[in-house]
């Protein structure tokens, strides 16, 4: 019994450490653990990069999922079962709010973290026809589809 409790404690500690490093990996430039969900990848990834859940806190994902009929000017409604599965996945894998302002932010590009990380990107890069907007992560981050946004994978179109 004591061995089982010790083993459970060790497993819990390892999982906690893994989650901590995965969550903090994005802010430090280290590769963070990539979590996948087929419904999320199919539905969200059909229009844009399926943004990793860690990029927004759970409250932001809830708000986004609650208003899919008006998702940034587009009706992104999905069937209720898919919506429930995607919502649960996003909330379970959401990142922590990095600031009080980020807790209610719906646009990843407006989070303090995003603004800080992209402060050196020249304005002309955002206007480039192959980029179009800061929300088009895959235009510069070659591994965005795999949830990797490290500086070594970045190629800013000229």
Residue 101 tokens read as 């302002």
Q: For position 34, what pLDDT does the model report?
A: 63
Q: What is the pLDDT of residue 98?
A: 79
User: What pLDDT is recorded for position 143?
Assistant: 85
In a 10 Å sphere around its CB, with 0-12 CB exposed, 13-18 middle and 19+ buried, how is residue 28 labelled?
A: exposed
Other C-beta atoms within 10 Å of 98: how many? 18
* Cβ-proximal residues to 153 (8 Å cutoff; 6+ apart), any chain: 141, 142, 143
Share of the chain above pLDDT 90, in %: 41
Q: Give the global pTM.
A: 0.70
pLDDT tens for 2-38 read 444 434 443 333 333 333 334 444 443 444 556 778 9
Angular region, 150: left φ>0, alpha ψ -120 to 50, beta rest: beta
pLDDT tens string 96-116: 887 777 677 889 998 888 999
């Amino acid at each position: 019994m004591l061995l089982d409790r010790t083993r459970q404690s060790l497993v819990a500690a390892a999982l906690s450490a893994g989650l901590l490093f995965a969550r903090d990996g994005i802010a430090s430039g280290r590769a963070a653990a990539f979590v996948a969900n087929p419904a999320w990848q199919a539905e969200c990834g059909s229009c844009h990069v399926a943004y990793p859940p860690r990029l927004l806190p759970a409250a932001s994902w809830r708000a986004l999922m609650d208003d899919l009929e008006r998702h940034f000017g587009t009706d992104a409604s999905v069937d209720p079962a898919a919506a429930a599965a995607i919502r649960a996945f996003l909330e379970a894998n959401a990142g922590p709010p990095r600031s009080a302002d980020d807790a209610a932010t719906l646009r990843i590009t407006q989070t303090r973290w995003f603004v800080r990380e992209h402060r050196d990107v020249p304005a002309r890069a955002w206007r480039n026809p192959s980029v179009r907007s800061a929300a088009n992560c895959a235009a510069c981050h070659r591994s965005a589809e795999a949830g990797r946004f490290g500086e070594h994978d970045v190629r800013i179109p000229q």
